[in-house]
Amino acid sequence: MKFKPRLRRLDWLYADIPIYFLTLCTQDRKRSLANSAIRQEFIRFSRRATDFLVWVGLFMIMPDHVYLFAGFSRESPPLGKWVKGLRGNLSKVLRDHEGEGTHWQKDFFDHVLRSEQSYRQKYEYVRQNPVRAGLVERPEDWPYQGEIHRLVL
């Protein structure tokens, strides 16, 4: 099976602190992420991210993937390096609790939000994800979500 090569990430953006919409998926969509230990580590890592000029907004931890919005400044670490650190920390938690770490898909999806309308649409899509998946009846009932910082375009 042939895959199209992925376009490389932009080196420079016009916004001072662009907001990225990120999706990180487990390999083979293994359903191992929706638990309180992963949520706690995600929050800890995200709060510490401000030390590196990264601000995490809304996040949604689903059984086999994570959605999040994050603001990166020009002085932030490269996006790929930061995501690698996040995935590594979450894998360590799973190894400690379950004896094995999550193996992640090699790449991740990232999208730079360019307008308030785009941000609102993606935000609502993420909020409704547990409802669409049949996990809860109302978005606010899903326990593996949160918002560390209120991000504004």
Q: Which domain holds residue 50?
A: 19-147
What are the strands of the beta sheet with 54-61, ordered from one edge? 109-112, 19-25, 65-72, 54-61, 145-147
Predicted local distance difference test score (pLDDT) of residue 45: 98
Predicted local distance difference test score (pLDDT) of residue 47: 97
**Six-digit token pair at 140?**
């606010």
In a domain, 109, yes or no: yes
In a domain, 49, yes or no: yes
- Pairing relationship of beta strands 54-61 and 109-112 according to DSSP bridges: unpaired
Rounded-to-integer distance, Cα 106 and Cα 80, Å: 11
Q: How many structural domains are present in the chain?
A: 1
pTM above 0.85, yes or no: yes
In a domain, 11, yes or no: no
pLDDT at 88 over 90: yes
Predicted local distance difference test score (pLDDT) of residue 57: 97
Q: Which residues, other chains included, contact 148 with Cβ-Cβ below 8 Å and sequence gap of 6+? A: 43, 46, 47, 55, 56, 57, 59
Rounded-to-integer distance, Cα 8 and Cα 10, Å: 6
Question: Tell me, what CATH number does 58's domain have?
Answer: 3.30.70.1290
Rounded-to-integer distance, Cα 13 and Cα 134, Å: 37
Amino acid in position 131? V
In a domain, 5, yes or no: no
In a domain, 10, yes or no: no
Tens digit of pLDDT for each residue in 128-138? 999 999 999 99
In a domain, 6, yes or no: no
In a domain, 62, yes or no: yes
Mean pLDDT of the chain: 90
Q: What is the DSSP letter of 147?
A: E
